[in-house]
A = this chain, B = another copy of it.
């Protein structure tokens, strides 16, 4: 299909185009990776495997790893009590009875909890991976063992990738009526290859910036014949993926790669959107001296009021110990600026894509690259100066830190609710367009997660509800109140 041909490799393209929560599970697989030592080089496509119920309708690395995968799923469940609580509440109603869901997401312990929740609510599921590297083989085995038809393994080829998607969709006697997608590949495969099946889909839930972008394009072109919910832009997901997650992962990413001491370090954060705000807050709290660069005067004024000097990068480039880009822009740090950085300074990217730092400009003969640790390169100038480049300018928090299961729980719960909403919505509520999750559901996702913090909501009295003109059960904010994506994402959609 023409749309996909421009990408050099699946993995390469994807790492640029995903929002945080989607791709970040990549690194999370590390927890389980030590068990995955099988040196079996046989392609799963060439093996015949049978689960203990006698089924062969799956294709994973090694069905025998199911037990270990089950343990990983159980550990993940501990931090996903909101999703389990949704599972419990809705289990008797079976709101997804009759739903036939094809899914294309990262396959990890956390998504396994989601898939098994969907099954518990009545759905039949077939699943494949949205990334050729991110599958936890043991988890895929555990799901296959319990009867979910999973087609995915770590280290797929591009051909394998599309083969797996096709096997999910194109199976005899089973026709999907719901799509859960992360990146839009599954959606577009169906749209192109199986247009008749696609037309009968009751709803699509899409997770990623890229996938949402593709849906909006289809919609604009008048070709989207199915309602879709964009879960990427729901309030809780965005705040967690950006502000709160980055507040923690900037510290984690820097520490794991460089063991740098934060106290007293002079750091410049390029961009004061949600990601930049999170990075600034964390580094300031740990004793760094933080500067901000901004193009937008309103964000700049916020930075001032929050106690950060707003400067141009050139004013302080010779001074700073660390540069962190969070802009969504390109060439925010140029070769000229890298030339002027101090010996031993660190440069990394928390923003949208790997173009924020002009890494390409560093690949010139006079500079020596020395890989000192995984994800850590010393770029050495002819005079011996070293600049430490992390993750080759790709997203630091995807490459060098992990995403807490709690955050993935918010995403997964939102996806589950979106599927339930689309599947059960009365005729006419959703047309052939891209929707945001209704505000009330956003609030419901949030409320399910409050138990984790032992937080107790106050309820309005009848009198107060009347005074405020609100329903006692919410929504408490109008539908138009929602997270405004930072510039980096906005400008793309």
Interface residues of chain A, those whose CB is within 8 Å of chain B, are 28, 31, 75, 78-79, 235-236, 239-240, 244, 247-248, 251-252, 255-256, 259-264, 266, 282, 284-289, 293-313, 315, 319, 328-332, 343-344, 372-373, 378, 386, 401-407, 442-444, 446-447, 449-450, 452-461, 463-464, 467-470, 474, 476-478, 481, 484, 487, 490-491
Q: Rank and list the top 7 A-B pairs by shortest CB-CB distance, nearest first.
A: A285-B285, A310-B455, A261-B404, A297-B447, A297-B446, A264-B304, A296-B476
In the bound complex, residues from chain B placing their C-beta under 8 Å from that of A467 are 329-330
CB-CB nearest in chain B for A271: B458
Q: A284-B307, A477-B487 are in contact. List 19 more A-B contacts (CB 8 A).
A: A236-B298, A261-B404, A261-B406, A263-B307, A264-B452, A297-B446, A297-B447, A297-B450, A298-B443, A298-B476, A300-B457, A301-B450, A304-B450, A310-B455, A310-B457, A328-B468, A330-B464, A332-B464, A478-B490
Among A247, A261, A446, find the residue whose CB has the most chain B CB atoms closer than 10 A.
A261
A252 neighbours in B (Cβ, 8 Å): 251-252, 255-256
Residues of chain B within 8 A (CB-CB) of A301 are 236, 239, 446, 449-450, 453, 455
Question: Which listed residue (B79, B343, B344, B468) contacts A487, Cβ 8 A?
Answer: B468
Whether A331 lies near B287 (C-beta < 8 A) is no
Kindly list chain B residues whose C-beta atoms are within 8 Å of the C-beta of A386: 78
- A456 adjacent to B330 (CB under 8 Å): no
**Structural contact, B344 and A79, CB atoms closer than 8 A:** yes
Contact yes or no, B287 A247, CB < 8 A = yes
Cβ of B256 and Cβ of A311 under 8 Å apart?
Answer: no
Q: Is the CB of B288 within 8 A of A285?
A: no
Q: Is the CB of B262 within 8 A of A312?
A: no
Which listed residue, B239, B402, B459, touches A302 by the CB 8 Å rule?
B239
Is B450's CB under 8 angstroms from A402's CB? no
Taken together as a complex, chains A and B put the C-alpha atoms of A484 and B235 apart, in Å, by 13
Of A285, A331, A461, which is in contact with the most chain B CB atoms at under 10 Å from its CB?
Answer: A285
Which B residues are CB-close (under 8 A) to A450?
Answer: 297, 300-301, 304, 310
Is B248 a contact of A460 with CB atoms below 8 Å?
A: no
Which residues of B sit under 8 angstroms from A302, Cβ to Cβ? 239
Q: Given A306-B287, A491-B468 in contact, is the A248-B236 Cβ separation under 8 Å? A: no
Bound Cα distance A236, B301 (Å): 8
Name the residue on B nearest A264 (C-beta).
B304
Q: How far is the CA of A402 from the CA of B311 in the complex (A)?
A: 30
* Assembly CA distance A331 to B466 (angstroms): 12
Q: Collect the chain B residues with CB atoms within 8 Å of residue A251's CB.
A: 251-252, 255, 286
Closest to A404 in B: B261
Task: Kindly state the separation between the CA atoms of A455 and B450 in the bound complex, as whole angstroms.
Answer: 27
> Do the beta carbons of B264 and A307 come within 8 Å of each other?
yes
A452, B305: Cα distance in complex, Å? 11
Contacts of A78 in B (CB 8 A): 343-344, 386
> Which residue in B287, B294, B444 is a CB contact (below 8 Å) of A458?
B294
Which residue of the partner chain, among B286, B331, B443, contacts A463 with CB atoms under 8 Å? B331
Shortest A475–chain B CB gap in Å is 9
| Residues on the B chain within 8 Å of A443, using CB | 296-298
Nearest B residue to A410, CB-CB: B301
- What residue of chain B has the Cβ atom nearest to residue A75's Cβ? B372
Q: How far is the CB of A27 from chain B (nearest CB, A)?
A: 9
Contacting pair A287 B261 (CB below 8 A): no
Could you say which residues of chain B place their CB within 8 Å of the CB of A446? 297-298, 300-301
Residues of B within 8 A of A244 (CB): 261, 263, 287, 305
State how many angstroms separate the Cβ of A146 from the closest Cβ of chain B: 19
Residues of B within 8 A of A406 (CB): 261
Q: Whole-angstrom distance between the alpha carbons of A275 and B75 in the complex?
A: 31
* Cβ–Cβ < 8 Å partners of A293 in chain B: 458
Q: Is the CB of A286 within 8 A of B285?
A: yes
Q: Are A457 and B295 in contact (CB under 8 A)?
A: yes
Of the listed residues A443, A453, A481, the one surrounded by the most CB atoms of chain B closer than 10 A to its CB is: A453
* Contact, CB under 8 Å: B468 / A304: no
Please give, as numbers and ranges, the residues of chain B lying within 8 Å of A255 by CB-CB distance: 248, 251-252, 255, 401-402
